[in-house]
Amino acid sequence: MKKLNKLVSVAVASAMVMAMMTGCGSDGNKSSGGTSDGNNGAATFKIGGIGPTTGGAALYGTNVQNAAQIAIDEINAAGGVNGYMLELNFQDDEHDAEKSVNAYNVLKDWGAQMIVGAVTSSPCIAVSEKTKEDNMFQITPSGSAVECVQYDNCFRICFSDPNQGEASAKYISENNLAEKVAIIYDSSDVYSSGIMESFVSGAASYNLNVVATEAFTADSKTDFSVQLQKAKDAGADMVFLPIYYQESSLILTQANAMGYAPTFFSCDGMDGILGVDNFDTKLAEGVMLLTPFAADAQDDLTVKFVSQYKERHNDTPNQFAADAYDAIYVIKAAIEKSGVTPDMSVSDICDKMKAAMLEINVEGLTTVGTGAGMSWNADGEVNKEPKAVKIVDGAYAGMD
């Protein structure tokens, strides 16, 4: 036992030394970057990305990482921003607040000047606390909880949860899509329960009749027969699904198996359902969703992006990817507007860019077909038009 301990101690000592060395190493990098701003250091803006690339939420982080890299490569190939190149370093946070702070610190050591992320809400809130302290510019593609952009250095591309829930209720009510609505949501997920809550309060003000509110959790998300049965028994002619498409695909399959065919209405989390490998798209026929992005839209921008993504990663991008792609172009626009340069301090870059954010108007993948770009207010919330689409013949079709 004693020897064992000794060995462990030796191991830990070496681990510590390693940690120290990486610490010193990156410190060295930073200082050299600071002093030699004139030459190589000044040529690039260092953008840090944070999101889950392993674990249950890996899909979202991977999409953001890949899409952001595509946007950066495009911009660099076209000569960069004001002549400066962009460089991305993407760190895994495993969809965990603590790991996201670690990822942020790694990026800080690397010399990141702005942050794209975090991809998911709870890590994003934790990171925003740190970027606030350091006054570093942060833009999240998809962190939708209200608190993600509570500080003035934080902005987002996606809609906030309350915004989506309310917009959905409004849309359903204004277009008379349903008499009775049932909700199936993930009670262990921030995104899903956030939208559910605002949908319920929105439903009250738009006179929608919510007849059933059923939940599932991350630990029991294979069988949805009870939730569907209750919706059916309550006579719901519409089921609102403020959840991600992996669970939605199961719900659609099971509803079909039990012969229940209400209208399904969902938010941006549903986007991607047609891209699930081997999914029978007939099951998704008639599903409506409010989403900023449709992977099979026929405009030039989307077609170019989707084909490039497929070519590189052999996969169809979802709305996380679109948000990330736009986030990089928003950064580009903000840099151009504010005229910041890589040799400025992180804090100066942030101050100038957050002022510029309020003035720019950017068109991107997530505003395609709305006829307007996106702009931001001082709260960090994006201002753009939600798009409603309906799945017809295995493809998105616009709704008016």
Partner 1 sequence: MSFLTYLINGISLGSVYALIALGYTMVYGIAKMLNFAHGDVIMIGAFTTYTICSTMGLPPIVGVLVAVVVCTVLGMAIEKIAYKPLRKASSSLAVLITAIGISYLLQNIALIIFGANSKSFTSIVSMEPIRLADGQINITGETVVTILSCIVIMIGLMLFINKTKAGQAMLAVSEDKGAAQLMGINVNGTIALTFAIGSALAAIAGVLLCSAYPSLTPYTGSMPGIKAFVAAVFGGIGSIPGAFIGGILLGIIEIFGKAYISSQMADAIVFGVLIVVLLVKPTGLLGKNIQEKV
Partner 2 sequence: MKKMNISKSSKNNMITYGIVIIAYVVMQILLGTGNISSLMKGMLVPLCVYAILAVSLNLTVGILGELSLGHAGFMCVGAFSGAFFSKYMVIAAPGMPGALRFFIAILIGAVMAGLFGILIGIPVLRLKGDYLAIVTLAFGEIIKNLVNILHVGLDEKGLHLAFTNTSIKMSENGTFIIKGAQGITGTPNDSGFTISIVLLLITLFIVLNLVNSRTGRAIMAIRDNTIAAESVGINITKYKLMAFSISAALAGVAGVLYAHNLSTLTALPKNFGYNMSIMILVFVVLGGIGSIRGSMIAAVILTLLPELLRGLNNYRMLIYAIVLIVMMLFNWAPKCIEWRERLMAKLKLGKAAKEVS
Residues found near partner 2 in the complex (CB under 8 A) = 1, 3-5, 7-9, 11-12, 15-16, 18-20, 22-24, 26-27, 53-56, 91-92, 94-98, 101-102, 104-106, 108-109, 122, 125-126, 128-130, 145, 147, 186-190, 192-194, 196-197, 200-201, 213, 215, 217-219
| From candidates 230, 310, 337, 390, binder to partner 1 by CB under 8 A | 230
Among the residue ranges 34-42, 100-108, 133-141, 275-283, the one whose residues contact partner 1 (CB under 8 A)? 275-283
Assess 235 for contact with partner 1 (CB under 8 A): no
Residue type, 262: P
Q: Are 143 and 151 in contact (CB under 8 A)?
A: no
Which of partner 1, partner 2, none does 301 bind, CB closer than 5 to 8 A by kind? none
Long-range Cβ contacts of 266-269 (<8 Å, 24+ apart) = 266/240, 266/241, 266/242, 266/290, 267/164, 267/165, 267/168, 267/195, 267/242, 267/291, 268/158, 268/159, 268/164, 268/292, 268/293, 268/319, 269/191, 269/192, 269/242, 269/243, 269/244, 269/245
Both tokens of residue 322? 């679109």
Is the CB of 76 or the CB of 188 nearer to partner 1? 188
Residue 71: name the closest of 99, 90, 91 by CA.
90
Least distance from partner 2 to the Cβ atom of residue 192, Å: 8
Is the CB of 62 or the CB of 142 nearer to partner 1? 62
Assess 226 for contact with partner 1 (CB under 8 A): yes
Q: How far is CA 299 from CA 107, 121, 221, 302, 361, in A?
A: 35, 30, 36, 6, 20
CA atoms within 13 A on the CB side of 120: 28
Which of partner 2, partner 1, none does 190 bind, CB closer than 5 to 8 A by kind? partner 2
Both tokens of residue 148? 């993600």
| From candidates 41, 48, 50, 62, binder to partner 1 by CB under 8 A | 62
Both tokens of residue 363? 């068109």
What are the phi and psi torsion angles at 108 (to 5°)? -65, -45
Among the residue ranges 10-18, 47-55, 76-84, 377-385, the one whose residues contact partner 1 (CB under 8 A)? 47-55
Assess 217 for contact with partner 1 (CB under 8 A): yes
Q: Which residues neighbour 40 within 8 Å (Cβ) at sequence distance 6 or greater?
A: none
Among the residue ranges 97-105, 199-207, 270-278, 292-300, the one whose residues contact partner 1 (CB under 8 A)? 270-278
Q: Are 389 and 288 in contact (CB under 8 A)?
A: yes
Is the CB of 217 or the CB of 377 nearer to partner 2? 217
Is the CB of 138 or the CB of 302 nearer to partner 2? 138
Is the CB of 190 or the CB of 252 nearer to partner 2? 190
Give the separation between CA 235 and CA 260, rounded to whole angstroms.
Answer: 10
Which of partner 1, partner 2, none does 106 bind, CB closer than 5 to 8 A by kind? partner 2
Is the CB of 31 or the CB of 217 nearer to partner 1? 217
